[in-house]
Amino acid sequence: MSTLSDLVYAQGRSSEADVEWLHRLAGDGQLLADLAFADIVIWVPTSDDSFVAVAHTRPGGAATLFYRDIVGDRVRPQWRTQVRDAFQTGQIVDSASPDWFEETPTRVRAVPIVREKPRSGGPIVTVGVLTRHTNLGETRTPSRQQITFNDCADDLFRMVASGEFPDLSAPTSPRRGAPRASDGLIRLDVDGITTFASPNALSAFNRMGFDDELEGESLVEVTTRILPSTRQFDESLPLVVTGRAPWRADIEAQGVAVSLRTIPLRDHGTRIGAIVLSRDVTEIRHQEQELITKDATIREIHHRVKNNLQTVASLLRIQSRRSHSDEAREALTQAMRRVSAIAVVHDTLSEGLAQNVNFDDVFDRVLKLAAEVAAAPTTRAHTTTSGEFGTLPSEYATPLALALTELVTNAVEHGLAGQQGEVEIIARRSEERLEVRVRDNGVGMPEGHVGQGLGTQIVRTLIQGELGGTIDWHTITGSGTEVTIDIPLRYIARGTEPAS
């Protein structure tokens, strides 16, 4: 499905600022739909004097009219005149009589979307039209809450038509834990006095220690009473609870955390009150704190593992220098190199909270380590890399780093033994596979003959067993050896580990 930006730009009539404004409005589409108990659709004009739907939001507390997605569809003939009138006049246009949509009586309101306030004497800048489609088939006597919600929706629709909503001064914030109309709504007058509080909003404040009715109370005074005197709070909180700024703030008392979002209501520039959305986010905050704690613990574990691995590598290096047997010295040196390669991956993981690593950075460090350790006094190896490995989970990074260390080491020690040569590593990554080629221009090996040493066994185990990939050795025509590794990446997309 095309995105809002794609659909708007395809019409060729909107600027980047228009698209940003429409994105902001669509971001509050759920709020408008829940307050109006109706479907909300955003339309933009086309080049042939029609309109196309670029966003649609269904109400959370009422029956939807559109069971099929209408985003990307052109406006229906029965709405075209109403939508066009709203767009051209810059005025809200209501349907004169109930409209029938698939045998359901509906009421349609068309609201012009004005991007900014018109300057004195200047033209109205209309970038689209918002339509509210109310299902009249389930009409019943409205409750006080429903009446208040509809009044709030009407105020916001008037602000949309006058270029005062959405408010670009309101910072964008994560959707997780964002208050919704159904979570709790408080209506304030221009003096910050509560004129309506939904049951959910009242319950949230009751849990924080306020045991009276919110209506008729100053919200800022109520908040001041329940907040512990010793606790520091956000400096923006007074502006939020008085309804003066379109910001968000959290308050916490008696172990309960409540997130607040304020939407100041204006009538042609004059503040007339505010909507304060509230949501009990205690459990969400606990989960976030647990995640932060776990991430910090994982990072500390990686850091300690890295330090321990480096200690083990140092001990192996010391032991190899004191060994009198060439065979033992070589075995200890190779073990030290393998441990050091694993330590490089853990060192990268310990630098951040994410469990994914940029493997290109990791391999640069591993390659330098492997080439330096493997080269003998009479061997000069030049290593080059091309292509990109990209970002890999730690479950892939550790075995792949160790396998490539073995291959580069074999290429230097055996392929270029006692001579000067090159080792080239080529990475090719697609959405489904990662292919790595390690080639040298050394002495080569007989075609079809693969070594049976410990290094070869380690590489096979890592690539085939842990990564579910394939590995192939063959001789390059003329001289040298090329090893090809092919690793499927479907496990990353599925979020599972490859089966061993």
Domain encompassing residue 272: 181-280
- pLDDT score recorded for residue 122: 59
| Residue of 22, 201, 236 lying closest to 114 (CA atoms) | 22
Domain boundary among 280, 298, 317: 280
Structural domain contains residue 174: no
Q: Give yes or no: residues 90 and 141 share one domain.
A: yes
Are 27 and 125 members of one domain?
yes
Q: CB of 56 within 8 A of CB of 70? A: yes
Contact between 110 and 83 under an 8 Å Cβ cutoff? The reply is: yes
Q: Do 59 and 119 belong to one domain? A: yes
**Any idea what the CATH number is for the domain that residue 70 is in?**
3.30.450.280
- Between CA 300 and CA 323 the distance in angstroms is 35
Please list, in sequence order, all residues whose beta carbon lies within 8 angstroms of the beta carbon of residue 248, skipping any fewer than 6 positions away: 171, 173, 178, 179, 240, 259, 260, 261, 262
Identify whether 388 is part of a domain.
yes
pLDDT in tens, 279-301: 999 998 888 788 777 777 777 77
Same domain, 53 and 195: no
| Average pLDDT of span 403-431 | 82
Residue 341 reports pLDDT greater than 80: no
- 176 in any annotated domain: no
| 222 and 297 inside one domain | no
The answer to whether residue 133 is domain-embedded is yes
What is the structure's pLDDT at 342? 73
DSSP letter for each residue of 227-245: S-TTS---TTHHHHHTT-S
Report how many domains make up the chain: 4
Q: What is the per-residue pLDDT for 372?
A: 60
One domain, residues 75 and 130: yes
State whether 332 and 475 are in the same domain. Answer: no
pTM, two decimals, is 0.64
Q: Is 171 part of any domain?
A: no
d(Cα 248, Cα 263) in Å, to the nearest integer? 9
Residues 46 and 79 in one domain: yes
Strands (E), 369-418: 380-387, 391-393
Residues 148-159 have pLDDT tens digits of: 999 999 999 999
User: For residue 496, what pLDDT is reported?
Assistant: 46
Residue 499 pLDDT grade (very low, low, confident, very high; cuts 50, 70, 90):
very low
Show which of 322, 354, 386 is a domain's final residue: 354
